[in-house]
Structure 1
Amino acid sequence: MSQAQGETTIRISPQEAERIQTRIKDRRQKCQEQAGKPREATDKQALHQQITMSNLMTDMDFMGGGSEKKSEGITVLAIGKPYLPSTASLDDLTLMKLSELTMETHHTGRKLTVKRKEEVVEQKAHSWTVVEEEGSEDVERLEVVVHKSRGGEDLLDSAKVFTVKEPYFTLSDDNEPTLRIDHPSDLVVEVKEVAANVAGSAVEQATKCKEEGNAALKRKELIDAHAKYSQGLHELRNGHALDDKLSFDIHRNRAHVNLQLSRMDEAKADGIAAVTGIDDARHKDLDSKAYFRAACAAYNLGQWEESKNLFESQQKLAPGDKDAATNLEKLAARLNEQKTGEYDFKKIRNALSKLRPRADAADYDGHTERKESKGHGFGLFATKDIEEGAIIICEKALSIVWSHEAEGWTALTVDSRDEQTRVQPVGLTKAIVSKLMSNPSQIEKATSLFGDHQGLGKQLIIKDGTPVVDAFQIHDIVSRNAFGPGESFATGKQDGRMASTGLWVRSAYINHSCIPNAKKDSVGDLMVFRATRSIKAGEEIFHCYAESYDYEERAANLKTTWGFECDCRLCKAERKDGAELRAKRMGLMGQADALMQREDIRIAKRITIGRIETVLKSLNETYNDERYKGIPRYGVERIQEWVDEAKRNLKKR
């Protein structure tokens, strides 16, 4: 991520780094030592005291997910060995008891139903509570790591009864036995049936559900409203009464809730299902609302043609509706952007603010195609000649978090696979998993990108009504492909604990080179790539992930942030130079910088310009002409530009 540089760099002392590594390794060793051992009964009173103390000292304790601690203001998170989420249906799993758990084990083919007995301890990267087995006084700790909220509500706090699919029993960061949830689909929240005791027909029961859903919506309890509307439709389905007019009302109301919960896939489906087609004034008005909600959902999904068709259907039913006309004008602009790459950037920028930082715009794929790139997996290639300065592609982020938003938090991660410590946009990973859980139509788009843990691949799996998303797979995809948009809405010095970071799927196929032919810019969350020189058809497009004149700094950034070593012509040449020559070169650049900063370029003295030219001559001598043939000398070029400008100003005086 680009923001892991400069003012947002995270620095910890060697002692702190060693302490973190030691703590993580100690926990891992204890897990290995206890692997396969039967679970021991947990002290209920001790767990109760832990909950009490944790809620009193939330800001001081270690926080979940392996080893996560507040270290100089940043969360530290251990990334354990990846494992797949459960892809089984509840009906295909065999019920087990707490007493059957074994340590450091994924209980394949089993499920565990538990009831929450204590308050929830909510912390930055995990939540945990105490659960009890049904019909028993046996208790255990249950924690959800990173992906701990759903619909703006803490998952563990949203219900009383849970079923854990293929439970993973391990040690917490405090070396306490715990049921650990890494994949949110592995924890099934059991919603109480609100109309179970209502006598009468399916329609009467569904009516009760609708009324309770409406009441929950009025209280702004969106998750509860959604659950009650869903149960109402379930009652109608079981009673073979889905053709009843009541189903249209419930679908229409649930579409409204889904829009507020950002569940666009279901909002669109609900809006379409709510259309009655009845030709009278009342139903035309209701159908207009249904089309509007479906069209808004399609718009938010970037499905411009479908959104246009739905808004046109709304307009036919309500010809005087000004909103329909306005939205159709917006869609005409989106479709033109998508086709031509012509954007009104001034208008887009003027509409942006800290409260509304996401651009209203369409993607433009330009004259590009994705195909294999030698040594780089996949890359993005030009299908036609592209002129210097021309737009290559424009793309809206699949997901973005801004440093001024709560979701923009970063963590210092220690990966058990390579023992590397990295700054990771964990808040972005969490946001993407949440978006995919809510909008399964986006799963294939996100998982088409490369990550070290391939997980479930690109397949879409929905079990028990919930999309299955591999949290480790998304973590690795973000690690390899996410980058920063720039601090468009920054105020003051940025804090390394928070960083603006996003995932742009097509843009992620543009590989790195320290000698790029493209440069990125951002307009809110709209990423714009322009050609920095003419690009021929068939040529691969590159941009620079880590801009620095210092080879050591650039190489370290690429290795720690993206996990690779650059093999571009510039890096190969600088490696051949050797460390001593590179150090001399950087020293000369430092001398030139000091001289340039000493005087304003508009009134620079002749003697200062001469000194810089002397340094510039020595700097050029550090480059082997044969080795650097056709390779830009960026550090030299910027100093030469300063000298040339200073000389022009000198002549004017």
Structure 2
Amino acid sequence: MAVAVPSVPVALTGTKQSPVEPTTPRKRPTKEELLKTHNTHIKKQETAPNAPRPVKQPILSEAYPASTKSIRDVEIIPLSDLQVQSHHRGKGIIVKVISPPFLGAGAVSVVEDEFGNADKLAIYNQNDSSILSGVPEGCIVAVKEPYYIHNGTEDDYMICVDHPSDVILLRFTDPIIPESLRLGPLLKAAEDWKNAGDTAFLERDFPTAVFCYSEALEATDNEALKPSLYTKRAGTNLVLGRYDSAKADSLASRTGAATDWKAYYNAGRAAYGLCEYGECKEFLERALELNQTNSGIRKEYDRCLARLREEETGEYDFPASVTKLNPQNVHLDLGSFTRNTRIDKSPHHGRGIFATRDIKPGEIVLVEKAALMPNQYEPSRASAALYALTVRQLLDNPSLSKSILKLYSGEMNYERSGLEGTIVDGVPIVDVFVVEGLRLKNCFSAPLTTVEDTKPSSPAGRQAKGLWVHVSNMNHACVPNTMRSFMGDMLISRATRHIKEGEEIFQQYVPVKSLPDTRNAQYKDGWGFECNCTLCSGERKSSEAALAKRKELSAAVEKLCNKKVPGREIIPDAAIRSVDRLAKQLEEAHEEEIYAKLPRLTLIYSSNWLVGAHRGRKNWAKMARAGRQVLRNFGFAVPADENAEWNPLDIFLVATDHATLMTIHVVTALRRLAEAYGNLGKKDLAAKCIEAAEFGYMLVTGFKNDLSALDM
């Protein structure tokens, strides 16, 4: 499932706190002292009312579980009983907000309990779609199993609510509210609440509108009034992106009359927002049965059918879609195609993805729309934006939990309850530390488009973070059988070699480092596994002495190559001979019995350097020889005899037992070979190299693109 989401202009904040034993505060500030300090902060806030709100960073080493209890199943205690650095398991507090909120990484308010005790309450990780993101003065809230912390300075404490489901906004008539805090309803008649909701809606205060319509529904016994209230709340929830609630409200608004077309229409729009296109189609067909001439229903229906066709066929107009993208709009209106694959238990790591049919090189393996991806390409903010968005969507659309919470979240310092996503007190349980673990283990960094990312003019580091649930089940291999690319929030995976039905499908998690111990340390630190792909397994057969030799020679040849850079200057023959001699020593350090059909990654840098050096001196024969070496070092089967007849496209299309690594550098090498062969008078072979380069560029970028955009 995926939902349309806005940009999130945030950055991670937070400091790690040292563990402290629970203690009774030495001195608590009075209510008057708390309000005086709080009002000072409010005045400062008023000088920058539109400043972006940062996101509090979850520190996994300090993780604690979200409460799974109902507020009615815990012991309500006074604020004076709170112990510093305690989570107060099995207990809760009910307080009235007695100040406006100070809005920073969270919403900080001064609160008071039924006994007149006052303290600070900091609520983090709430959605802008929720009143709890900035609780108005006078509201009554309940906090389950409150976490009371020292706030940095002497005698400064606060109740810290990290898990958004640990705090509940209580209705004013809720019988759990103590008598001394009870205000009674602000409005008594359902019609008054409805009018208040209409006013809030017109003022674009949508969270308040939802609250008012909910109060109106609770206040009325008039069954004739309820359908219109459900309709209004459904429409407001659609605006907020609360598609689960919008769908439920739409269906609840039905009366059995012909006017139910609007209920089915709104339910269809909500299902579309969740990318549940089959369900959307059913709802819209019901709407059309009741209102056949409505152009709005027909438009939505046709749009839904287009998504279903994409899901069924995997046919997309990628060139047209890419023109609709810009950094402010990365969400393409496209469906996901995953029929070629299935998720199953993997012999490698947990779950994996397997082919449901034979797939040829270059064919689409899958296309998936991101379940979650914010419009945030600023590197310092991308991770925070995805974290915040994930929390928001798990709160607003609990149905997402079914797929997202199945993903691996890494090792926690406590056992997951298994109740995450369960509705308690009307709110789905959201554990922010689990969310952060899921983000760290499963997100991808994505450029706006991979096509643009291959061009030298593309800004460095401008990548968003996204979560693609289906692809997150795909395991890593350094020499995978697929290659992924991005187009906005769409991930495209194509086969880089023949894949048989039932075969496990692999991807690269990160660009592969040349030395096996270095890259496997990265996998161990990042994901907790050691790679057993064909390359890594083969290289483990190499001796420690051979590995040490390759490390030494690799460092030496890289240092030598870095002294002079081809393209910036004409490389002297003496420098070329020195690099060539060292590269041959490095080549000899690769055991033939191990590397005959494996990539030789430590040789790629020097062979690429030699291509550039010979090109600068217009030594076309040596340039062609170095270009073939580049392909060989990536693992591709190329003829050793420079005069042998061969078709470069065969390195992709002909089935082979060679382990190959496909990157943009392979495309560049094929273009250089075309240039060399063209200057040697081998026009036919040069054309075949361009054909192979175009095929490789399609693998890299996800669809056929013009090679001329690449810098030669």
Same fold (TM over 0.5): yes
Kept in 2, the 8 Å contact 1:585–1:622? The answer is no
Shift of 1:169: 1.8
User: What is the letter of the counterpart of residue 270 of structure 1?
Assistant: D
d(CA) in 2 for partners of 1:579, 1:50: 63
* Bigger strand fraction: 1
Do residues 568 (structure 1) and 568 (structure 2) align?
no
User: What is the letter of the counterpart of residue 207 of structure 2?
Assistant: I
Shift of 1:604: 9.1
Do residues 182 (structure 1) and 182 (structure 2) align?
no
Residue aligned with 2:444, SS? coil
Kept in 2, the 8 Å contact 1:521–1:527? The answer is yes
Choose from 234, 254, 258 the match for 2:218.
234
Choose from 242, 257, 263 the match for 2:236.
257
Do residues 315 (structure 1) and 288 (structure 2) align?
yes
d(CA) in 1 for partners of 2:211, 2:348: 49
Shift of 1:58: 8.0
User: What is the letter of the counterpart of residue 38 of structure 1?
Assistant: T
d(CA) in 1 for partners of 2:207, 2:528: 39
Do residues 37 (structure 1) and 2 (structure 2) align?
no
Do residues 540 (structure 1) and 504 (structure 2) align?
yes
Residue 313 to residue 383, structure 1, CA distance change in 2 (3 Å): closer
Residue 396 to residue 586, structure 1, CA distance change in 2 (3 Å): farther
Query: 1:217 — aligned with what?
Result: 201
Residue 40 to residue 347, structure 1, CA distance change in 2 (3 Å): same
Choose from 385, 390, 393 the match for 1:435.
393
Residue 213 to residue 81, structure 1, CA distance change in 2 (3 Å): same
User: What is the letter of the counterpart of residue 475 of structure 1?
Assistant: E
d(CA) in 2 for partners of 1:550, 1:50: 57
1:44-59 counterparts in 2 under 5 A?
44=30, 47-48=34-35, 51=38
Query: 2:18 — aligned with what?
Result: 28
Do residues 393 (structure 1) and 366 (structure 2) align?
yes
Choose from 471, 484, 491 the match for 1:507.
471
Residue 117 to residue 426, structure 1, CA distance change in 2 (3 Å): same
Residue aligned with 2:593, SS? coil
Residue 57 to residue 449, structure 1, CA distance change in 2 (3 Å): same
Deviations 1:294-316 (A, max 9, x none): 11101111111221122222223
Deviations 1:466-504 (A, max 9, x none): 111121111111111111122439997467xx8510111
Residue 253 to residue 131, structure 1, CA distance change in 2 (3 Å): same
Query: 1:414 — aligned with what?
Result: none
Kept in 2, the 8 Å contact 1:447–1:457? The answer is no
- More deviation, 559-568/617-626: 559-568
Residue 197 to residue 223, structure 1, CA distance change in 2 (3 Å): closer
d(CA) in 1 for partners of 2:68, 2:298: 45
Shift of 1:273: 2.0
Kept in 2, the 8 Å contact 1:399–1:428? The answer is yes
- More deviation, 341-350/258-267: 341-350
d(CA) in 1 for partners of 2:554, 2:589: 6
d(CA) in 1 for partners of 2:300, 2:80: 58
Shift of 1:531: 1.0
d(CA) in 1 for partners of 2:376, 2:460: 8
Residue aligned with 1:329, SS? helix
d(CA) in 1 for partners of 2:194, 2:57: 45
Residue aligned with 2:108, SS? strand
d(CA) in 2 for partners of 1:37, 1:229: 44
Kept in 2, the 8 Å contact 1:455–1:472? The answer is no
d(CA) in 2 for partners of 1:276, 1:157: 35
Deviations 1:345-382 (A, max 9, x none): 22322332333211111122233222222341111122
d(CA) in 2 for partners of 1:555, 1:564: 8
d(CA) in 1 for partners of 2:206, 2:255: 25
Shift of 1:231: 1.4
Residue aligned with 1:541, SS? strand
Query: 2:180 — aligned with what?
Result: none
Residue 366 to residue 618, structure 1, CA distance change in 2 (3 Å): farther
Choose from 237, 256, 280 the match for 1:277.
256
Do residues 302 (structure 1) and 275 (structure 2) align?
yes
Shift of 1:47: 4.1
Residue 648 to residue 596, structure 1, CA distance change in 2 (3 Å): farther
Kept in 2, the 8 Å contact 1:94–1:111? The answer is yes
User: What is the letter of the counterpart of residue 271 of structure 1?
Assistant: S
Residue aligned with 1:255, SS? helix
Deviations 1:143-163 (A, max 9, x none): 234x14341766243453321
Residue 84 to residue 521, structure 1, CA distance change in 2 (3 Å): same
d(CA) in 2 for partners of 1:650, 1:616: 26
Do residues 358 (structure 1) and 331 (structure 2) align?
yes
d(CA) in 2 for partners of 1:288, 1:541: 44
Number of residue pairs the alignment of both structures matches: 577
Deviations 1:299-352 (A, max 9, x none): 111111221122222223333322222222222221111122222222322332
d(CA) in 1 for partners of 2:270, 2:391: 19
Residue aligned with 1:307, SS? helix
Kept in 1, the 8 Å contact 2:446–2:463? The answer is no
- More deviation, 105-114/293-302: 105-114
Kept in 2, the 8 Å contact 1:120–1:129? The answer is yes
Shift of 1:108: 2.0
1:12-27 counterparts in 2 under 5 A?
24=16, 27=17
User: What is the letter of the counterpart of residue 441 of structure 1?
Assistant: S
Choose from 100, 105, 112 the match for 1:132.
112
Residue 115 to residue 627, structure 1, CA distance change in 2 (3 Å): same
Residue aligned with 1:627, SS? helix
Query: 2:666 — aligned with what?
Result: none
Choose from 583, 586, 590 the match for 1:619.
586
Query: 2:76 — aligned with what?
Result: 95
Choose from 438, 443, 459 the match for 1:482.
443
Query: 1:65 — aligned with what?
Result: none
- More deviation, 38-47/287-296: 38-47
Shift of 1:404: 4.2
d(CA) in 1 for partners of 2:118, 2:346: 53
Q: Give the root-mean-square deviation of aligned CA atoms.
A: 3.5
Query: 2:423 — aligned with what?
Result: 462
Residue aligned with 1:169, SS? strand
Residue aligned with 1:401, SS? coil
Residue 39 to residue 340, structure 1, CA distance change in 2 (3 Å): same
Residue 158 to residue 46, structure 1, CA distance change in 2 (3 Å): closer
Shift of 1:592: 4.6
User: What is the letter of the counterpart of residue 110 of structure 2?
Assistant: V
Residue aligned with 2:585, SS? helix
Query: 1:598 — aligned with what?
Result: 567
Q: Which runs of 5+ in 1 are unaligned?
A: 1-19, 60-69, 200-204, 411-423
Shift of 1:190: 2.8
Q: Which runs of 5+ in 2 are unaligned?
A: 1-12, 47-53, 174-182, 609-625, 628-668, 683-712
Residue 99 to residue 425, structure 1, CA distance change in 2 (3 Å): same
Residue aligned with 1:376, SS? coil
Deviations 1:229-269 (A, max 9, x none): 11112223xx3x4xx22111111111110001110011111
Residue 197 to residue 191, structure 1, CA distance change in 2 (3 Å): closer
Residue 53 to residue 546, structure 1, CA distance change in 2 (3 Å): farther
Shift of 1:564: 4.1
Deviations 1:579-603 (A, max 9, x none): 5632421442454576563369xx9
User: What is the letter of the counterpart of residue 633 of structure 1?
Assistant: R
Do residues 648 (structure 1) and 655 (structure 2) align?
no
Kept in 2, the 8 Å contact 1:389–1:533? The answer is yes
Do residues 116 (structure 1) and 85 (structure 2) align?
no
d(CA) in 1 for partners of 2:458, 2:479: 32
Choose from 514, 521, 526 the match for 2:490.
526
Residue 506 to residue 518, structure 1, CA distance change in 2 (3 Å): same
Residue 606 to residue 313, structure 1, CA distance change in 2 (3 Å): farther
Kept in 2, the 8 Å contact 1:481–1:503? The answer is yes
1:138-149 counterparts in 2 under 5 A?
138-145=117-124, 147-149=125-127
